[in-house]
Amino acid sequence: MKQSIQSSYSIPSLIYIEEDVKLFPAQIKKIVYNCQFRSDKALCHKLYLSCLLSLLNSITLSNKSLETLHSYKQRKGVSPSEAYINRMYSRASEDPIILWHLPAEYKDFVTYLVNRARKEFTDSISDTVSSFQLSDEAMDAILKSSYESTVNRDIILEED
């Protein structure tokens, strides 16, 4: 019963998680434009685009990897296991940093910005999810209230 209450209470959290995802590019922009290079707008723009491209690169597979997955399915007749796919993502994201019109010396700084953006995004999502988690006391109160309203309704129906 408690699981049912928690799941129906958590449905609105999906809307707020979606909002967090929509705000992620703005969050990255804020991080980049508040860094030590904030006075150089062109450099900040390049850093911002490098962060976006690096994040996208870290969560997508290359065409070669996708072809490998497709051929695996054709050879074996089944879809690859989740562990196999995770290994492919791990190998693909060993060096996900893309420098957009930046010299190689900015690689470590872009890595720092990307990691900071990931951390802030993860914290934001965690806060959103935890704000929709009901405590045991709250669930007990909901159950008690529901029970009491059912008992009161039954008493009123019996009197009629």
Domain assignment of residue 5, yes or no: no
Angle at 103 between CA 107 and CA 113, to 5 degrees: 30
pLDDT tens digit sequence for 70-85: 888 888 888 888 888 8
Report yes or no on 126 lying in a domain. Answer: yes
List, in sequence order, the alpha helices (H) in 34-135.
41-59, 63-76, 82-92, 107-131
Range of the domain at 129: 12-135
Which residue matches tokens 């049912």?
A: 4
In a domain, 150, yes or no: no
**Structural domain includes residue 151:** no
Residue 11 has pLDDT above 70, yes or no: no
In a domain, 145, yes or no: no
How does pLDDT run across 90-129, given as a tens digit for each residue?
A: 887 777 899 999 999 999 999 999 999 999 999 999 998 8
- In total, how many domains does the chain have? 1
Distance of CA 118 to CAs 18, 32, 64, Å? 16, 13, 26
In a domain, 144, yes or no: no
Q: Report yes or no on 140 lying in a domain.
A: no
In a domain, 29, yes or no: yes
